[in-house]
């Protein structure tokens, strides 16, 4: 199958080619650092060879667990936050019927996969329990530690409900834990309770974990082909290892162009899609780049938009606002389904000039017209094109963005694999909630509130 394509021609009105090519020698070094695990954050590089090193036995075990969940559950609840849910949701949303929650299990041919523990909203979780009250459901709880506040609260609610409804033994059959292979509260609980478990590799961070059981289990339960997903990622892995030259490697080219634009004062990257199916792929990308690059007072701010919808809300700012941004478009060559615009005898809406055209054609012209308008408005544009939305090409996109993120972070001079700033809010929250050991901080914080 053909690889994704990247077109940087609409950035060359804003950059000289030498502005981009100057990064080649540095990119060669960063490719070597990733291969040899010698760069910053080298203890979190397990994702680099993950697609090619994942065993057939693990994939088969995940598929077997998914079949078991499909047999006993109408709804499969995935408990996790950040990288423990965004990747799975990105794939499931991309491949599902747009109105999947309204379909029966028979129409979907798999349980409805929904998510919990990605927020601490009481209304959300109360509504969740309402929905589950008369449904057969099962749970995957995903956390390396088992003590992350948001998913831990959600899992406590769901565990108690399952045990009340099915008893300890019945609940055990409906809970799968995806966690650290050896340590942590969730691993201890899973061992004590006898839950089926899958391990998160210790050297793979949360935002890089979608191609581990973290993402693969929910995707398989939803009825999608995890082998094709891994095949797409594996092909991109092998291609990006074979070449580091940006003329042959889209990973290198994307990392170089975004950093060249950053040096020109373009410190906001807008990732745009014209397909609602890809909304959560954009959300996954936002976490990947925001958490990886936003440190040491440096960052290319990742912003996501869904066009043409957001052209009626964000379009004015993008067209005429401050010129500190650039745009990357995920373009899809062909949709799965065709909708032909009909003729209307009265033509009151003046749309008969579109009659007989496929809606995808209209969408593509909106994409091209917007690109030209934004370039005229001094917004550089990159285009990443995939032939269609499928497991294989989403797998390519995952690995493409992961590796480009690592190289781009190294160019920025940061460690792309840590997230020290994430802990700041947690410490304050623990203190304000009265957690033991935070008493002095709690006094200080209350004086400031």
Active site residues: 291, 312, 426
CB of 368 closer than 8 Å to CB of 381? no
Q: Which of 30, 93, 90 is nearest to 395 (CA)?
A: 90
- Phi, psi for residue 365 in degrees, rounded to 5: -70, -35
**Measured CA distances, 170 to 165, 177, 299 (Å):** 8, 15, 48
The DSSP result for 226-264, as a single string, is HHHHHHHHHHHHHHHHH---TTT-HHHHHHHHHHHHHHT
Query: Other CB atoms closer than 10 Å to residue 342's CB: what's the count?
Result: 10
Sheet holding 75-79, edge to edge: 112-116, 75-79, 137-142, 175-179, 196-199
Tell me if residue 357 falls in helix, strand or coil. coil
- What tokens appear for 280 in the block? 């959560």
Crossing angle for the helix pair 226-242 and 391-412, to the nearest 10 degrees:
40
Q: Tokens 């059959």 belong to which residue?
A: 173
**Measured CA distances, 206 to 201, 245, 323, 393 (Å):** 10, 29, 33, 21
């Amino acid at each position: 199958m053909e690889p994704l394509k990247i077109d940087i021609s609409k950035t060359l009105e804003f950059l000289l080619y030498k502005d981009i090519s100057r990064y080649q020698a540095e990119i060669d070094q960063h490719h070597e650092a990733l291969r040899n695990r010698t760069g910053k954050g080298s203890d979190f590089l397990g994702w680099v060879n993950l697609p090619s090193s994942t065993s057939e036995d693990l994939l088969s075990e995940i598929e077997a667990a998914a079949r078991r969940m499909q047999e006993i559950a109408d709804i499969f609840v995935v408990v996790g936050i950040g990288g423990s849910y965004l990747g799975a949701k990105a794939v499931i949303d991309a491949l599902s019927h747009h109105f999947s929650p309204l379909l029966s299990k028979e129409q979907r041919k798999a349980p409805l996969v929904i998510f919990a523990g990605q927020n601490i909203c009481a209304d959300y979780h109360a509504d969740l329990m309402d929905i589950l009250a008369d449904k057969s459901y099962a749970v995957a709880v995903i956390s390396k530690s088992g003590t992350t506040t948001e998913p831990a609260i959600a899992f406590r609610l769901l565990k108690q409900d399952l045990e009340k409804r099915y008893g300890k033994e019945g609940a055990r059959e409906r809970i799968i834990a995806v966690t650290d292979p050896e340590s942590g509260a969730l691993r201890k609980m899973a061992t004590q309770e006898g839950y089926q478990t899958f391990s998160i590799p210790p050297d793979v961070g949360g935002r890089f974990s979608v191609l581990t059981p973290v993402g693969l289990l929910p995707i398989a339960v939803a009825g999608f082909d995890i082998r094709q997903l891994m095949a797409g990622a594996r092909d991109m892995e092998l291609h990006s290892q074979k070449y580091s030259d940006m003329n042959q490697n889209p990973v290198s080219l994307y990392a170089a162009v975004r950093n060249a634009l950053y040096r020109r004062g373009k410190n906001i990257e807008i990732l745009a899609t014209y397909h609602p199916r890809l909304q959560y792929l954009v959300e996954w990308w936002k976490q990947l780049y925001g958490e990886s690059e936003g440190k040491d007072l440096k960052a290319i701010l990742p912003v996501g938009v869904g066009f043409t919808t957001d052209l009626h809300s964000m379009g004015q700012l993008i067209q005429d606002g401050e010129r500190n941004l650039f745009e990357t478009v995920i373009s899809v060559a062909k949709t799965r389904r065709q909708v032909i615009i009909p003729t209307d005898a009265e033509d009151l809406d003046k749309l008969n000039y579109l009659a007989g055209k496929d809606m995808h054609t209209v969408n593509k012209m909106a994409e091209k017209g917007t690109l030209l308008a934004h370039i005229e408005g001094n917004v550089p544009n990159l285009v990443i094109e995939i032939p269609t939305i499928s497991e294989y090409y989403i797998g390519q996109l995952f690995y493409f963005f992961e590796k480009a993120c690592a190289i781009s972070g190294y160019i920025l001079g940061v460690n792309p694999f840590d997230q020290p700033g994430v802990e700041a809010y947690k410490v304050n929250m623990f203190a304000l909630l009265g957690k033991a050991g935070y008493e002095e901080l709690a006094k200080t914080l209350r004086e400031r509130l």
